[in-house]
Amino acid sequence: MECKFALLAFSCLLLQQCVAYNVEDSTTLEVPKLNKSTSYCNVFQGSWVYDDAYNPYYNSSTCSSLIKEFDCLSNGRPDQHYLKYKWKPSDCDLPRFDGQDFVTRFTGKKIMFVGDSLSLDQWQSLTCMLQTALPHSTHKFTVKHGLSIFTIMEYNISVMMYRTPYFVDVVSEKIGRVLKLDSIKNGNAWKGMDVIIFNSWHWWVHKGSTSQGWDYIQKGKKIYKDMDRLTAYKYGLTTWSKWVNSYAKNSQVFFQGISPTHYRSQEWNTSTGNCKGETTPISGSTYPTGLPEPVGVVKEILSSMSTKVTLLDITTLSQLRKDGHPSIYGLDGNQGNDCSHWCLPGVPDTWNELLSALLVSQPKKRLLFNQL
């Protein structure tokens, strides 16, 4: 009961603010701080606070579906302090996720994550949070046509994952794999969702035959061997935005902010290294090198759209968590060095706390926030 009252109070703050894009004027809504003259709270501005009493929502023993690549503890990570940090907005408290309340509110609904392996990270997190919150409910996992579906049978709620790193299509042709920046036939699988959380960027910058997902790029009738990746990303997001404007008008649409990497420790100190061996977050509320370039592209595209899309602005809070990656405790365990994805339990649980809080704060089908 106390948790529900906390969510209700928190919702009152969120209904007056959000990093969102308005249907009527297509402008970014700024978020004032909570102070004597206003009751607004920017939930994405804050810092990570150590709390020895703070416990993660799940572990591999309570979430049987947790994949090995994200299960850092089972892969031998020796430190556990990273599990004791919680996100503290500067001017309010973020309530803990209430799985029972979540499934009650979304009974009969379809929730879909659409994107790359960072979307998989967040989808895995949410399914684990729900499994652990409802241990006596019947859970079902199915995979159909590349779509992973987690269903809680008693509530007829489905949480889905559609894997597509670019949104736009990659088509095999005689010359090889062609990334078609103007084509988005993938979108047929996203129609009819109640909630959609999109994410794309991570794989746009990959190069080389083993990690680049295409051989050529097509824009209009022209074929390119390569182009500036940020430019290609903007073209791809423009095509995506047209799909959302046409087919997602009745859905609650979110865009997961750019998830950062920590391969260059020079960004937070003067040493040479990466996320390997990091055990504590960066203190404070800002990252030394600022925001990555694609953040500007995302905000530009979202501000031009006629359909409301809420930016789940997790970039800065995730930048501060140099300690949150699998590092050598991901992949096959003690192989490679993953400073891109996130340990589970871990940072994506906070993304889902924020997502849940924003969803709970919305009494209507689409988000409506005061213009500030």
Selected catalytic residue, list 47, 74, 90, 117 = 117
Active site residue 194: no
Confidence of residue 335 (pLDDT cuts 50, 70, 90): low
Q: Which domain holds residue 328?
A: 47-360
**CA distances (Å), 325 to each of 7, 82, 91, 294, in order?**
29, 10, 27, 21
236 inside domain: yes
How many domains does the structure of the chain reveal?
A: 1
Half-sphere exposure of 104 (CA within 13 A, CB side): 8
Whether 32 is in a domain gets the answer no
Going by C-alpha positions, the residue among 22, 36, 58, 25 that lies closest to residue 343 is 58
* Cβ-based neighbour number of residue 29 at 10 Å: 19
In a domain, 353, yes or no: yes
Q: Which of 338, 340, 349, 361 is catalytic?
A: 338
Answer whether residue 9 is part of any domain. no
Q: Are 187 and 243 in contact (CB under 8 A)?
A: yes
Write the pLDDT tens digit of every residue in 44-66. Answer: 999 999 999 999 999 988 898 89
Our answer to whether residue 93 is catalytic in this structure is no
Of 44, 227, 204, 245, nearest to 115 by C-alpha is 204
pLDDT in tens, 269-321: 878 899 999 999 999 999 999 999 999 999 999 999 999 999 999 999 999 99
Residue 218 belongs to some domain of the structure = yes
- The percentage of the chain sitting over the pLDDT mark of 70, rounded to a whole number, equals 85
Query: Looking at the domain assignment, is residue 2 inside a domain?
Result: no
pTM as predicted: 0.89
206 catalytic, yes or no? no
Look at residue 68 and tell me if it is in a domain: yes
Amino acid 368: pLDDT: 33
Joined together, the tokens standing for residue 14 give 């969120």
Residues counted in the chain:
372
Separation between Cα atoms, residue 222 and residue 224, nearest integer Å:
7
- CATH number assigned to the domain comprising residue 98: 3.40.50
346 domain-assigned: yes
